[in-house]
Amino acid sequence: MPKIEMRNTVTELWDKKIAFPSPDEMPYPAGIRDMMVHRATPDYKFLHDAGIVVHKKQLFASWYNCPEYEMEEESIIRGRCSKDDGASWSEPMIIAADKSGKVLYVPSVFVPYQSALWAFVLKMIGLDLPDRLEAFLFDEETSQWISKGFIAELFLPNCPPVKMPDGNFIMPGRMADKLGEMPLRPAMAISQGANILEHWDIVPLLPAGEKMEFPESTLIADANELTAIIRPDHKSDAFAVVSNSKDMGRTWSPPQASNMPMSDSEPFAGILSSGQRYLISNTPGRPGPRRNLLTIAVSRPGEKAFSKIWRIRDGYSESLSAGPEWSYPCAFESDGKLYVAYTSEKHHCVLTIIPTASLLV
Q: Which long-range contacts (CB under 8 A, 24 or more apart) does 140-148 make?
A: 140/56, 143/93, 145/93, 145/94, 145/95, 145/96, 145/119, 147/96, 148/197
pTM: predicted TM-score of the whole model, two decimal places? 0.96
**Residues whose CB is less than 8 angstroms from the CB of residue 108 and which lie 6 or more positions away in sequence, other chains included:** 49, 51, 62, 64, 77, 95, 96, 119, 120, 121, 122, 157
Phi, psi of 179 (to 5 degrees): -60, 135
**Alpha-carbon span 296 to 338, nearest angstrom:** 11
Could you report the per-residue pLDDT of 225-278, keeping only the tens digit for each?
A: 999 999 999 866 689 999 999 999 999 999 999 999 999 999 999 999 999 999
User: Mean pLDDT throughout 288-307?
Assistant: 95
9-64, pLDDT tens digit by residue?
Answer: 558 999 999 999 999 999 999 999 999 999 999 999 999 999 999 999 999 999 99
User: What pLDDT, in 10s, does the model give residues 179-237?
Assistant: 999 999 999 999 999 999 999 999 999 999 999 999 999 999 999 999 999 999 986 66
pLDDT at 2 over 60: no
Q: Find the Cα–Cα–Cα–Cα dihedral 230, 233, 238, 243, rounded to 10°.
A: -30
* Per-residue pLDDT at 237: 65
CA atoms within 13 A on the CB side of 271: 19
pLDDT of residue 289: 80
Q: What is the percentage of the chain residues whose pLDDT exceeds 90?
A: 93
Asked if pLDDT for residue 6 goes beyond 50, the answer is no
- Does the 23-359 domain belong in CATH 3.30.300.130? no
Residue-averaged pLDDT of the chain: 95
Q: What's the pLDDT tens digit per position in 89-123? A: 999 999 999 978 889 999 999 999 999 999 999 99
CB of 77 within 8 A of CB of 119? yes
